[in-house]
Amino acid sequence: MFEPHITFNEPKYVIDPNIAEFFNAWSSFSYFIAALFIKNNKIATSCVILAISSFMFHAHPNLSTEMMDEISILIVVSNLIGKKGELDFCLFFYLISCIFSVHYGGGIIYFHLFSIILSVQIYRFISIVIDENRINRNFSCSLILFISAFFFWLLEQFTVTFFTCHVSWHIISAGAIYYASKV
């Protein structure tokens, strides 16, 4: 099998000889737990798919399981993005993420996805402030959690060697998806 583009700092096959990244794999099921509380069936179903594919990627990291994981993330994001205006608004942020990706090389799809989600959240923030002259609590929680989760992901990718950063990414981003589904 081809090697994945993204690697994580968790020691491989230490706790269980059948699971490469034990804690990263099992923390993927935080998306399943979030799905239990999400009322939108499309978003909940995509979270279950994300939980399974992320588990597979961390249990058996190779290029095919990485692609399964990344495609399921795209499915979740596409279900969270509901309005055409939001899609138009995120193009600018997506271009910035492409420049970042070229600079740092392959396997940076999470940055692309984060930039799309962040730009949609900014668009929603502007819409909420203009239309309703108030800030939606679910939106605020979602945005704060997405930024926090991305912070842990960046820590692991660029500086810190602790594997718990990716576990934190799974748990916090699952909470962000839950709150984003309520916006």
Cα separation, 69 vs 63, whole angstroms: 10
19 — phi, psi (to 5°)? -125, 120
Top pLDDT among 61 and 101 is at 61
Average pLDDT of the segment spanning 115-127:
64
Residue 9 lies in a domain: no
Range of the domain at 97: 22-181
- Taking phi over 0 as left and psi of -120 to 50 as alpha, with beta for the rest, 2 belongs to beta
Q: Tell me whether residue 3 is in a domain.
A: no
Q: Which of 96, 129, 127 is nearest to 112 (CA)?
A: 96
- Residue 17 in any domain: the answer is no
- Tell me if 12 is assigned to some domain: no
Task: Return the pLDDT at 73.
Answer: 79
The mean per-residue pLDDT over the stretch 129-135 comes to: 54
Q: Is residue 11 part of a domain?
A: no
Mean pLDDT of 106-133: 59
- pLDDT over threshold 80, residue 40: yes
Residue 127: CB atoms within 10 A of its CB come to 16
Of these ranges, 8-12, 134-138, 170-174, the one predicted with the greatest mean pLDDT is: 170-174
Lowest-pLDDT choice from 16-25, 37-46, 57-66, 149-158: 149-158
CA–CA separation, 66 and 54 (whole Å): 8
Residue 88 pLDDT: 46
87-109: average pLDDT: 50
Q: What is the distance between the terminal CA atoms of the chain, rounded to a whole angstrom?
A: 40
In a domain, 58, yes or no: yes
> Could you give the number of structural domains in the chain?
1
Least confident segment among 11-20, 38-47, 76-85: 76-85
- Largest Cα span, the chain: 55
